[in-house]
Chain A
Amino acid sequence: MDMTFSAEDERFRQEVRGWLAEAMPEPLKEKASNGAHYTPDDVREWHRILHSKGWAAPNWPERHGGPGWDVTKRFIFGEEVARAQAPTLSPFGIGMVGPLLIQFGSDEQKQRFLPKILSGEELWCQGYSEPNAGSDLASLQLRADRDGDEYVLNGQKTWTSAAQYADWIFLLARTDSSGKKQEGITFLLADMKNTEGIEVKPFLNIDGTPAFADTYFTDARVPQSNRVGPEGGGWSMAKALLGHERTGIGGVSEAARWIARIKRIARDTPVGTATLADDPAFRRRIARLQIRHRALSMVNYRTLAAAQLGHAPGPESSILKIVGTELGQELTELAMDALGHSAQSWFDAPAGVVPEYQRWISSRFNYLRASTVYGGSNEIQKNIISKHILGLPGA
């Protein structure tokens, strides 16, 4: 066992750091120092730049366009991206459906979809939850009826993050209602832009943005060739994919950004003749969360090291999801406390009310309340640990 970085690793770190400093366009750099709040167009642009370097998909195997990094290099890359406050790519393509297709997709599907996921040319969203299928995801009702070599989709998905920007959606649909509810579920890919009968209605979230959407399907036709895996075999794929999702949501590098942000607020916040950064009580609060982050980083690293490239991590990734999202929330709560009076500010405040990098903090504080719910609520994660790791009996 060895936690030191080799000379080669350190060279790699310098290479990544140098490249990030060079490759980030000025407007993005300015946003990086102003709170790293990016628009979907910013993220698209950054995706293209990363792709041109071959670094868009650190978690993909080399034969599909990944950079072929070992877990240490991926870890270093994540740290450096967080340090540079660069945009985070949409997780649905690179982090979720891409690895799923690598693992379960047909050769045709890999050829058709992977290159454009990698390049960012096609953005994806996730059609899992429905109004009556939240934690009980397997009770989903969106129907996919066979008609010739097509499926006809009818029903509704909800909480489809970024559906309004997505070109494609991967979704779970019911192809059979006769047996066990898990067995009639099929995994499909649908073209959001060129399929008649798909309608996206974004709705305002408590963060003040249309972060999620309802997505309606009315006689929407999807070719059978867009089915991943066998008909009725969607549930096991959905679970594998959740392993990827959980690891991403854990947000270890996102937490590092928040720690840096909180320290910046503390330095910038006058308290009497000193600053909040001089207040030992506040520093201790930061220290405790920073220590928690250190502990989580180790679990993250061990989980990633144990999972093969392109494969989903095992049930232990549930720890990452639970602890990572709770830590993320605590960090935003601490950031709000650091802001003092300014914690009541909102992102539409006139310029100068708060420093620009603080503009979106109260919105993110609200947004991240969702993190303990999405990706399988933390209670569901505890069910997974208790059943699949601890072997406790079912209810």
Chain B
Amino acid sequence: MNFELSKEQQMIVGSVAGFVKDESNVERFRDMREDERGWDPEVWRTMGEYGWLGIAFPEQYGGIDGSFLDMALILEQFGRGLVPEPYIASVVLAGSLVLELGSDDQKNGLLAPMLAGEASLALAYAERQSRYRLEDCLTTASVEGDGYRISGEKVWVLNGHAADSILVVARTSGEQLDRDGLTLFVVPSDAEGLERTAVRGMDGQRSAMLSLNGVAAGPEQVLGPVGGALPALEWALDRAAAAACAEAQGALKELLDRTVDYLKNREQFGVKIGSFQALQHRAAEMFAEVELCKGTMILAALSADLEDPAERAAEISAAKVQLTDGGWFVLEHALQLHGGIALTDEQDLGLFFKRVRVLQGLFGDADHHVDRFQALPGFAA
């Protein structure tokens, strides 16, 4: 075991931190929040050129062959500046699935341009009734000729409004909750019968609500095994959860640092409010939670590359629970210690607050992950 970042990792962190500071600070996020797309294709292309999008992907598709942890370190820095580009949606969720399940043609056609920053992807899995249960799928793909017709509704498709292609989970056999029978389809965003409603979330990030009305898909649009998409989906969602923890980690650190800074400068009763013990202790507790989140975030990132699904699930669920339970303490007290000023839109704090709160809920909230953790084999032993 060893806790040191490698030289390469330190360099990546340094260059991403520099980019966030100089080119993608909160001001750019504020601009993008008002932008129709919500993120900048130019910046996306730059990220592709720097190799940040392909960091955890094989070289043959334009990647760097790095680890998931390398990717997590990038996301952690993005979290410090609320970088709005659809990294988790496109690279982590959709990119992982194409890499895992795609044919050579699909990898060359979908993965390579996306990792170069010339296109973006999305994954449509959630439905109104499904909450965090991936197998709960009512969208169907029925056989027609040598292809399929997909019908159903998908909600909160991250980057669904802008993606060039969307991976859609549909049921090719079985009942609503069956683990077998799920299939992934690559659906171009301009497909006939696909309606997209763009939504701007609380955190300023964009999603789409999808309505699929008999969208035609040829056999070449099937991604991976027919009826057997669930294990890969679970894997991709685990990676997304680990990625969410990484991005949130940067935002939590930002919330802590800004709060400590405020305590050192704000004066009331003729003194710096950071001299009040009640507030000092709150800040100390926030510091402890940020450190605890960092530990589980690293374990989650390291486990994201693991083969054993139970081991992976344990670490990633643990990180998600710590982010949600412990991270919440940081969120609420960052606002409380700032007082009224934190509640204005003009102050940046609320932007970080909202982003972390969204990340806490994405890919399974604490209840979901506690439940998964206690159901793992060997838990009661």
Measured CB to CB, the residues of A under 8 A from B are: 1-5, 9, 71-72, 75, 263, 266-267, 277, 280, 283-284, 286-288, 290-292, 294-299, 301-302, 305, 316, 318-319, 322-323, 379, 381-383, 385-387, 389-395
CB-based contact A287/B370 at 8 Å = yes
Q: Out of B284, B295, B370, which one reaches A302, CB within 8 Å? A: B295
Q: Nearest A residue to B317 by beta-carbon distance?
A: A291
Chain B residues within an 8 Å CB radius of A290: 373
Complex: how many Å from CA A286 to CA B302? 24
Q: Nearest A residue to B290 by beta-carbon distance?
A: A319
Contact indicator per residue, chain B 255-299, by CB within 8 Å of chain A (1) or not (0): 000001001100000011011110011011101100111111011
Q: Nearest B residue to A395 by beta-carbon distance?
A: B275
CB-based contact B284/A385 at 8 Å = yes
5 additional A-B residue pairs with CB within 8 Å, beyond A4-B302, A301-B3, A302-B3: A9-B1, A287-B373, A287-B379, A291-B317, A393-B275
Closest chain A CB from B380 CB (angstroms): 5
CB-based contact B1/A2 at 8 Å = yes
Answer yes or no: B6 CB below 8 A from chain A CBs. Answer: yes
CB-based contact B1/A316 at 8 Å = no
Complex: how many Å from CA A5 to CA B287? 29
CB-based contact B284/A295 at 8 Å = no
Q: Out of A4, A5, A296, A298, which one reaches B298, CB within 8 Å? A: A298
Q: Out of A298, A318, A387, A392, which one reaches B295, CB within 8 Å? A: A298
Complex: how many Å from CA A292 to CA B299? 13
Chain B residues within an 8 Å CB radius of A392: 260, 263-264, 274-275, 280, 283
Chain A residues within an 8 Å CB radius of B343: none
Answer yes or no: B4 CB below 8 A from chain A CBs. Answer: yes
Chain A residues within an 8 Å CB radius of B93: none
Answer yes or no: B173 CB below 8 A from chain A CBs. Answer: no
Chain B residues within an 8 Å CB radius of A385: 283-284, 287-288
Complex: how many Å from CA A302 to CA B293? 13
CB-based contact B275/A287 at 8 Å = no
CB-based contact B3/A284 at 8 Å = no
Complex: how many Å from CA A387 to CA B281? 10
Q: Out of A263, A267, A319, which one reaches B288, CB within 8 Å? A: A319
Number of interface residues of B (CB under 8 A): 47
Complex: how many Å from CA A9 to CA B1? 9
CB-based contact A390/B6 at 8 Å = no
Complex: how many Å from CA A330 to CA B280? 24
Chain B residues within an 8 Å CB radius of A267: 380
Answer yes or no: B213 CB below 8 A from chain A CBs. Answer: no
12 inter-chain pairs at a CB distance below 8 angstroms, sorted by A residue, are: A3-B302, A4-B302, A5-B1, A9-B1, A263-B380, A280-B371, A295-B293, A298-B298, A387-B280, A389-B284, A390-B284, A393-B271
Closest chain B CB from A108 CB (angstroms): 38
CB-based contact A316/B277 at 8 Å = no
Q: Nearest A residue to B1 by beta-carbon distance?
A: A72
CB-based contact B322/A305 at 8 Å = no
Complex: how many Å from CA A322 to CA B287? 12
Complex: how many Å from CA A382 to CA B276? 12
Q: Nearest A residue to B287 by beta-carbon distance?
A: A385
Please report the number of residue pairs spanning A and B whose Cβ atoms sit closer than 8 angstroms: 138
The A interface, classified by DSSP as helix, strand, loop or mixed, is: helix
6 smallest CB-CB distances across A and B, nearest first, come from A298-B295, A386-B280, A385-B284, A382-B284, A283-B374, A287-B374
Complex: how many Å from CA A379 to CA B277? 9
CB-based contact B285/A1 at 8 Å = no
Closest chain A CB from B252 CB (angstroms): 13
Complex: how many Å from CA A390 to CA B258? 11
Known contacts A286-B374, A298-B298, A383-B277; is-contact A390 B288 (Cβ 8 Å) = no
Known contacts A1-B69, A379-B281; is-contact A294 B291 (Cβ 8 Å) = no
Known contacts A299-B291, A301-B1, A392-B274; is-contact A386 B321 (Cβ 8 Å) = no
Complex: how many Å from CA A175 to CA B269? 40
Chain A residues within an 8 Å CB radius of B280: 382-383, 386-387, 390, 392
Complex: how many Å from CA A370 to CA B302? 37
Complex: how many Å from CA A284 to CA B293? 20
Closest chain B CB from A85 CB (angstroms): 15
Q: Nearest B residue to A320 by beta-carbon distance?
A: B288
Answer yes or no: B143 CB below 8 A from chain A CBs. Answer: no
Answer yes or no: B176 CB below 8 A from chain A CBs. Answer: no
Within 8 A of A (CB), among B1-22: 1-6, 9
Complex: how many Å from CA A167 to CA B264? 48
Chain A residues within an 8 Å CB radius of B302: 1-4
CB-based contact B260/A296 at 8 Å = no
Chain A residues within an 8 Å CB radius of B288: 319, 322-323, 385
Chain B residues within an 8 Å CB radius of A284: 370-371, 374
Chain B residues within an 8 Å CB radius of A383: 277, 280-281, 284
